[in-house]
């Protein structure tokens, strides 16, 4: 929400990255199931799904920067 001490003048939309992640994973699933691509070659992309989930939860509930950084380091190290 906009406020005196915030940088936003208007309400900013939240959850827009969800559509990007959904299309990305739909594309991967078509690669695996219809083009006989190996699922094992797409498994390294799995941490990106968890990072997107953390971002979505942050959009909804405002996770602290320290917790977000922890999750980013954790999922990127998988």
**pLDDT value, residue 7:** 66
Q: How much of the chain is helix, strand and coil, in % rounded to 5?
A: 65, 0, 35
Alpha-carbon distance of 38 to 62, in angstroms, equals 37
Q: What angle do CA 36, 37, 38 make, to 5 degrees?
A: 115
For 15, left (φ over 0), alpha (ψ -120 to 50), or beta? left
Instruction: Please write the tens of the pLDDT for every residue from 9-20.
Output: 667 777 778 888
Q: How many CA atoms lie within 13 A of 15 on its CB side?
A: 3
What residues of the chain score a pLDDT lower than 50? none
**pLDDT value, residue 77:** 83
Query: Helices (H), strands (E): how many in the chain?
Result: 3, 0
């Amino acid at each position: 929400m906009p406020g005196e001490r915030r940088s936003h003048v208007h309400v900013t939309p939240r959850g827009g990255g969800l559509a990007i992640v959904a299309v990305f994973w739909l594309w991967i699933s078509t690669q695996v199931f219809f083009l006989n691509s190996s699922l094992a070659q797409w498994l390294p992309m799995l941490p990106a799904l968890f990072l997107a989930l953390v971002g979505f939860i942050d959009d909804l509930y405002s996770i602290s920067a320290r917790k977000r950084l922890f999750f980013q380091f954790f999922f990127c190290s998988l």
